[in-house]
Amino acid sequence: MPRLGSWIEPFPEGIYVRPADAWVDPSEAKEKALVTHGHADHARGGHGQVWATPETLAIMGVRYGEQNPVPVEHGETVRVGEVDVTFIPAGHVLGSAQILLEYEGERVVVSGDYKRRPDPTCAPFQVTPCDIFISEATFGLPVFRHPPTSDEVRKLLDRLEAEPTRCVLVGAYALGKAQRVIKELREMGHDAPIYYHGAMERLCNLYEELGVDLGELRPVSEATKDEMRGHIVICPPGALNDRWSRRLPEPITAMASGWMRIRQRARQRNVELPLIMSDHADWDELTTTIREVNPKEVWITHGREDALMHWCMINQIKSRQLNLIGREDEDD
CA dihedral in degrees (115, 116, 122, 128; nearest 10)?
Answer: 100
Taking residues 307-332, report their average pLDDT.
83
Give me the pLDDT at residue 324, please. 78
- Is pTM beyond 0.85 here? yes
Give the other-Cβ count within 10 Å of 239's Cβ: 19
Task: Of 112, 68, 67, 69, give the one whose Cα is nearest residue 89.
Answer: 112
| pLDDT, tens only, 10-65 | 999 999 999 999 999 999 999 999 999 999 999 999 999 999 999 999 999 999 99
137 contacts: CB under 8 Å, gap ≥ 6: 286, 300, 301, 302, 303, 304, 305, 307, 308
| pLDDT, tens only, 60-100 | 999 999 889 999 999 999 999 999 999 999 999 999 999 99
Residue 328: pLDDT band (50, 70, 90) is low
Mean confidence (pLDDT) of the chain: 95
Give me the pLDDT at residue 25, please. 96
Give me the pLDDT at residue 78, please. 98
Give me the pLDDT at residue 1, please. 65
| pLDDT, tens only, 149-158 | 999 999 999 9
Give me the pLDDT at residue 323, please. 75
